[in-house]
Amino acid sequence: MLGGRAGERFLLSDAQFVLAQEHGFRTWAEFRAHVEGRSTTEERPVSRLMGIRSGAYVSMADRLLAELRRNDPGALRRLRAYVPRHAIATSAATAELRDARLIIARESGFPTWRELVAFTEKSRRDLDERQEERRRLHREAEALLAGDTDRLAGLTAEQADTLLEMLAGPETIPGVRLEKELGVPRAAVEVLLGKATGLDAPLIQAVRADRVEYVRLLLAAGADPGARIGGSTPLENAVLSGGTELVDLLAGHGIVPRALWTYAACGRLDLVQACSTRTAGSGRARHRRAPISLTPPAAVSSPGCRRPTIRTRSWGRRSCTPASTAGSRSCAGSSTAASIRTSRPTSGGQACTGRSRPGMSR
């Protein structure tokens, strides 16, 4: 960025210029104004890197740069959205590699490319360490499968935590495929539960793997169904993966987050209808927005209604968020109607929408 000048001198103004450029701004003054004017409550969405190597992001940036050089309209929109110095650009043909890399970083939830690469490399190291730790516990894993409670009783809390996470995956234990059933002697698992320091991580991993009976056991042992691991709750993972049995199980312990899309996915038409009630108008129906109750709902269906069928990707997510993350907010918005079909007619409106969120077929 500084060219040959960097070898001759490096002043505070040079450091400020480099920082501003890394964040996509032309000057330090613009970057400083952005930082000072930004809301302190702003939330930055971060994607799950899931151990992806940094080379994958390098390839993504190279492909994006090629699109920018072709002045692709979609690439231009991304450039204007994520690189402040190009906010009013009418052409993407002059974009540089650093611009493409900044776009990829911002879309992954990181302010700079350097931070994205650093976090990616750390996530790979962490993943390698976990895999090595699991390999070292192969004898203990065999004891778990055999129900050898005496051997398991000598494990440390850290070893118990690792084995519980291994038990959450379908093929994490070598040579064994675990499905909806528990798959190992319950007494052996209870020994591990008694030693574990936390149950939330194995819970969400078990949900992602559709390990129904293991999820049931973890919930009974005190795992938190509302815990957010990697930015999402167990119920969100169950809904998005289509695990209807797990959705019912988790909803019985509380619907988190409290939002239209989770209410609909859980079959709670009473809560869906509470988001928006329909009133008669002159010549056409009008909608009156109604605040949504943030009291944890009971896991029962509303009288006279069957569970809904939700058309995948045809409905929007309400901007209702749990009080723990964004405070109490009411359901609002009417740009897209919630597409919910029931086998019996129901009263009341169902037009409570917001950001797009994929649904599930029930």
Q: Are residues 240 and 332 in the same domain?
A: no
Domain boundary at 228, 254, 280, which?
A: 254
Residue 4 has pLDDT above 90, yes or no: no
Q: Are residues 162 and 248 in the same domain?
A: yes
Domain that holds residue 319: 256-362
Q: Give, in order, the Cα–Cα distances in Å from 86 to each of 26, 72, 100.
A: 9, 15, 12
Q: Are residues 99 and 148 in the same domain?
A: no
For residues 238 and 261, give the distance between their C-alpha atoms in angstroms, rounded to a whole number: 13
Phi, psi dihedrals of residue 286, rounded to the nearest 5°: -120, 155
Scored b (16 or more CB within 10 A) or e, 288-306 reads eebebeeeebebeeeeebe
Overall pTM surpassing 0.75 (yes/no): no
Q: Does residue 11 lie in a domain region? A: no
Is the Cβ–Cβ distance between 276 and 346 less than 8 Å? no
- pLDDT tens for 310-336 read 333 333 333 333 333 333 333 433 333
Q: Are residues 112 and 173 in the same domain?
A: no
Count CB neighbours of 233 within 10 A.
24
Average pLDDT value for residue range 182-201: 94
Which of the four pLDDT bands, split at 50, 70 and 90, describes residue 253? very high
Q: Does residue 22 lie in a domain region? A: no
Phi, psi dihedrals of residue 232, rounded to the nearest 5°: -140, 155
Q: Are residues 74 and 159 in the same domain?
A: no
Compare 35 and 233 and report the one with higher pLDDT.
233
Q: Which pLDDT value is given to residue 246?
A: 94
Residue 229 has pLDDT above 90, yes or no: no
Q: Are residues 281 and 347 in the same domain?
A: yes
Q: Which pLDDT value is given to residue 290?
A: 40
Q: Which pLDDT value is given to residue 282?
A: 39
Which of the four pLDDT bands, split at 50, 70 and 90, describes residue 2? low
Residue 217: in which H helix or E strand, if any?
A: helix 212-220
For residues 140 and 54, give the distance between their C-alpha atoms in angstroms, rounded to a whole number: 34
For residues 47 and 152, give the distance between their C-alpha atoms in angstroms, rounded to a whole number: 36
Q: Are residues 238 and 287 in the same domain?
A: no
- pLDDT tens for 52-106 read 788 999 999 999 999 999 999 999 999 998 998 898 999 999 999 999 999 999 8
Q: Does residue 261 lie in a domain region? A: yes
Count of structural domains within the chain: 3
- Write the single-letter amino acid at 117: V
- pLDDT tens for 111-155 read 899 999 998 888 888 888 888 888 899 899 999 999 999 999 999
Torsion sign over Cα 267, 268, 270, 272:
negative
Q: Are residues 303 and 357 in the same domain?
A: yes
Domain boundary at 89, 118, 147, which?
A: 118
